Structure 1
Amino acid sequence: MSANLKYLSLGILVFQTTSLVLTMRYSRTLKEEGPRYLSSTAVVVAEILKIMACILLVYKESQCSLRALNRILNDEILNKPMETIKLAIPSGIYTLQNNLLYVALSNLDAATYQWPSDSQELDSKELSAGSQFVGLMAVLTACFSSGFAGVYFEKILKETKQSVWIRNIQLGFFGSIFGLMGVYIYDGELVSKNGFFQGYNRLTWIVVALQALGGLVIAAVIKYADNILKGFATSLSIILSTLISYFWLQDFVPTSVFFLGAILVIAATFLYGYDPRPAGNLTKA
């Protein structure tokens, strides 16, 4: 059963990450009239949706009893403040990572959606170089922070008896606080001018829902598998996203270096997850 949950959660994570990257990139580069939605507010809304989903799951596990739900939330969250505070560290890092993902996808692919004329080519190249540097720095920072947060969160999940949904509620609580702080600091003026949900449309809500789902799936992967397999699943989703960009969106031309990296990732995933049969189980010819 645990093995099935491990591979099921990994498969869902690959699908979720691939869908999120493609829809988020499209939503951040789509040209529309009016203000574009604020990535800082999208992070907060995703955290709130994650909390609501986890509360519903805990409610279902408590046999749909409001009294039992209230008791569990009080016993596991309010009455254990030190256990709850432990989640502040990975929550802050995950909130930073989510914001950096928006920054990366807003900058790395800017040149893809611009087709300048000859007179604008020089300015476009300079802008593209600057955007790519910002995007690359955002990606690198997100990678290093994600590794630490993943290991820390895995340690907490596997050393305590609290359910993964309770832990996600705690994560979402701190994530919402940190996210609101980011909204106030970076986009406070825009929010006061055009509203918290400025620029939101159907695609924006799909991105937010996928991001909320990602938090739940990542927690399940760390719980039933481990943080290293989570990293492999994310790498596979990057390869899948790139292939879709090439065959469907036609905005990326893979190189030999990309194919080499893809082969190494697939091979590493197979070797790490391969479980050979014990020598004692081999039958003699």
Structure 2
Amino acid sequence: QFVAKLGVSMRQQYRFASLVVICAQTTALVLLTRYSRVVVSGSAYLSSTVILLSELCKLAITLLMVLLENEGSISASYRSVGNHLSNLRLDCLLLIVPSFLYTVQNNIIFYALSNLTAATFQVTYQLKILVTAVLSWILLSKRLTSQQWLALVILVVGVVMVQLNGHRSGQVDVRSNSVRGLVAVLLACLSSGFAGVFFEKIVKSDTKHSLSMRNLQLSLFSVPLASAAVYVNDADAVLRLGFFYGYNWLTLVIVLLHAVGGIAVSVAVKYADNVLKGFATSVSIVLSTGISCMIEETGLTTLFILGSVMVVASSLIYSWTSPFRPRLTSGLNTSK
């Protein structure tokens, strides 16, 4: 109901704000995660517990959003949540699909990063943008203009150039298994693309549920699945060392960034689309790499600068073209 009352300008503000938040959040998350794993001394935290804690944090944020939607009334919020949960329809139950895929994706990414260099992972993971575009065309009946396809190509080339720069100056982990790592990251691309498009189809096909309620429904599936991932992957370690083993203030910041990112992604899916969300993530890769170069004083090469320009240019080319248009199914004039 709240979404239906939004004007076009307000929707554009939500769209722009969500993409900016995703870009900033992803940049901070990459840098802080690397810092917490490589620079900070001490025992490493269990990644599966971070995922679970971030889902619980996201659930808390979502409940706060529901409370604000009901003007701070706890009783009204309770009734609203109760009504939605008691009248779960098929599309609500289908949210278990993206919930499951997001949980699998998060755990696959940790596996991929243990078998690939960061540069190789980031380059390959950009294939999710192409996967998302194709799945949007298939599942959402959307098609890209020739300019938007060109923007996708420029994007991939630009990110590859940026990461080749990082690869030249980075260290190669001789313990990595490139074949398993590549298979893992390809699976992550597929799960990320399909989950994002599937969730977009659900939230845009039904305006009866608010975005906060959709996030609540998503969290109700994600929390049990993330708990299962902790049990499967790190049950022995949790029992032996404790759930919060290796945690410090930085770990809690990373948990909060994960939670905020999840909310921002849902807003971007609602008011923008998954491909634009992918562009925001790619811009963050350039930012994080550039900041890393400045912090580590490795310098910005011509390859990095040229690749950065291509990524920014691709984002502008994609954004300035006409939006997704549905495929023609009849002889009717569908022009604006």
Please state which band the TM-score falls in when normalised by the shorter chain: 0.7 to 0.9
Compute the displacement of 1:23 (Å): 0.9
Q: 2:16 aligns with which of 7, 11, 16?
A: 7
Residue 86 of structure 1 and its aligned partner are, at CA, apart by 1.1
Instruction: Kindly provide the CA deviation profile for residues 127-148 of structure 1, in whole angstroms up to 9, marking residues without a partner as x.
Output: 5351666555443332222111
User: Is 1:66 aligned to 2:74, yes or no?
Assistant: yes
Q: How far apart, CA to CA, are the structure 2 residues paired with 1:228 and 1:127? A: 31
Residues 1:226 and 2:273 are matched in the alignment: yes
Equivalent of residue 18 in structure 1, options 9, 22, 27: 27
Q: Whole-Å Cα distance in 2 between the matches of residues 255 and 82 of structure 1? A: 53
Deviation at 1:204, TM superposition (A): 0.5
Contact 1:24/1:102 (<8 A) preserved: no
Alignment partner, residue 150 of structure 1: 196
Which runs of no fewer than 5 residues in structure 1 stay unpaired?
Answer: 112-124, 277-285
After TM superposition, give the deviation of residue 167 of structure 1 in Å: 1.2
Distance in 2, matches of 1:236 and 1:254, equals 17
Mapped pair 1:203 → 2:245: no
Residue by residue, what CA displacement relative to the aligned partner does 1:66-107 show, whole Å, maximum 9, x if unpaired?
Answer: 111111111222321533311111111111222233344555
Q: Residue 91 of structure 1 is aligned with which of 90, 99, 102?
A: 99
| Greater than 6 Å deviation, 4+ residue runs | none
Answer yes or no: is 1:48 the counterpart of 2:86. Answer: no
Root mean square deviation, CA, Å: 2.5
Return the TM-score normalized by structure 1: 0.83
Q: Is the contact made by 1:28 and 1:105 (CA closer than 8 Å) also made in structure 2?
A: no
User: Percent identity among equivalent residues?
Assistant: 42
Structure-2 separation of matches of 1:105 and 1:252: 24
User: What are the equivalent positions in structure 2 for 1:224-263 lying under 5 Å apart?
Assistant: 224-250=271-297, 256=303, 259=305, 261-263=307-309
Contact 1:110–1:128 (Cα < 8 Å) also in 2: no
Aligned to 2:110: 102
User: Is residue 29–residue 110 contact of structure 1 (8 Å, CA) maintained in 2?
Assistant: no
The 1:236/1:127 distance shift into structure 2, 3 A limit, reads closer
AA matched with 1:57: M
Q: Which residue identity is paired with 2:20?
A: G
CA distance in 1 between partners of 2:18 and 2:286 (Å): 18
Q: Which amino acid aligns with 1:269?
A: S
Aligned counterparts of 1:204 and 1:210: Cα–Cα separation in 2: 10
Amino acid at match of 2:95: L
List gaps (5 residues or longer) in structure 2. 1-9, 120-170, 323-336
The letter for the 1-side match of 2:212 is: W
Does structure 2 conserve the Cα–Cα contact (< 8 Å) formed by 1:25 and 1:106?
no
2:312 matched to 1:266?
Answer: yes
Does 72-81 or 5-14 show the bigger shift?
A: 72-81
Q: Is the 8 A contact 2:116 2:176 kept in 1?
A: no
